[in-house]
Amino acid sequence: MPLTPDSNPCPVCAAARDYMFTQRVLGRHDVAYFQCQGCGLLQTETPHWLEEAYSQAIADTDTGLLQRNLEHASFLNLLLQVAFDPKGRFVDVAGGYGVLTRLLRDRGFDAWWADKYCNNLFAIGHEASEGLQAQALFAFEVLEHVTDPLAFLRTEFARYGCGSMVLSTLTFSGSAPAQGWWYYSLESGQHVSFYQPRTLQRLASQLGCEYTRVHDGLHLLMARPLAPWLRRVLRSRRLRSMFERWFWSRRVLPSLTWCDHEQARQRLRGAEPATAPP
Ligand SMILES: [Zn+2]
């Protein structure tokens, strides 16, 4: 098939893009996919179907939500203790129902929730206020929803005075995955950008961060380089699991479960809602 250049340049590296194929999204929209000649980012055409796609913020097909949050909590319990000040503040910038924020607070981390598109069900009272200064941000299953990832990351880093992010998105290598790949999420219509590790590397260098691929689905953008031994641990499935289990069994921080319960009771009695000072 002859490749037709897309008129829009790549939002990450500004290189030209090639037409790859057309797939049917939401069962009724024929959508063209383009791949960047520079960084390999694969994207749909400018999405015009998102209002329809987001009639529900979290798609019915996302059956992995709870299992994923448990795995992320276990990973973060390790990472936040070895690569950050564990007593610092952290913001889940697309916190969904607040499951991860709650799990991290249960482990004693000062985690806060933000999400423009979803209701906070599990971390009520811990909505991150504008100007809150965070040590690191989390963006799990977000980047594939974003049409301009560079602008998204710059905005979130500026909002929380922060230059590190732990993110998940399923990456691919080489040519675009075959049509029908499950991660295209054709039934939900919500996934519009698909990354390679080299795309994330390019994003990191644009932002002045160090990129680490933990595995195909989990990635770090770090304001300060990770220690070489830690990079080795994180990138080895065996070592990472071993360290995660060890840190999970050894509680260092006091849990915030009870103190959050007391705050919630105070709020219900009419006291001021809990907000984090800047
Ligand atoms: Zn590019």
pLDDT in tens, 201-227: 999 999 999 999 999 999 999 999 999
Structure pTM?
0.89
What are all long-range contacts of 116-124, with beta carbons under 8 Å and residues at least 24 apart?
Answer: 117/54, 117/57, 118/57, 118/58, 118/94, 119/57, 120/95, 121/97, 122/97, 122/98, 123/95, 123/98, 124/98, 124/264
> Residue 112 C-alpha to ligand 1 middle, in angstroms?
32
Mark the residues whose beta carbon lies below 5 A from ion ligand 1. Answer: 10, 12-13, 15, 36, 38-39, 41
CATH homologous superfamily of 65-249: Vaccinia Virus protein VP39 (3.40.50.150)
Give the residue-averaged pLDDT of 47-75.
83
Is 269 buried (19+), middle (13-18) or exposed (0-12) by CB count in 10 A?
exposed
Domain boundaries, the chain: 5-53, 65-249
Residue 58 in this model has a pLDDT that exceeds 70: no
Q: How far is the CA of 113 from the centre of ligand 1 (A)?
A: 30
Task: Over range 72-93, report the average pLDDT.
Answer: 95
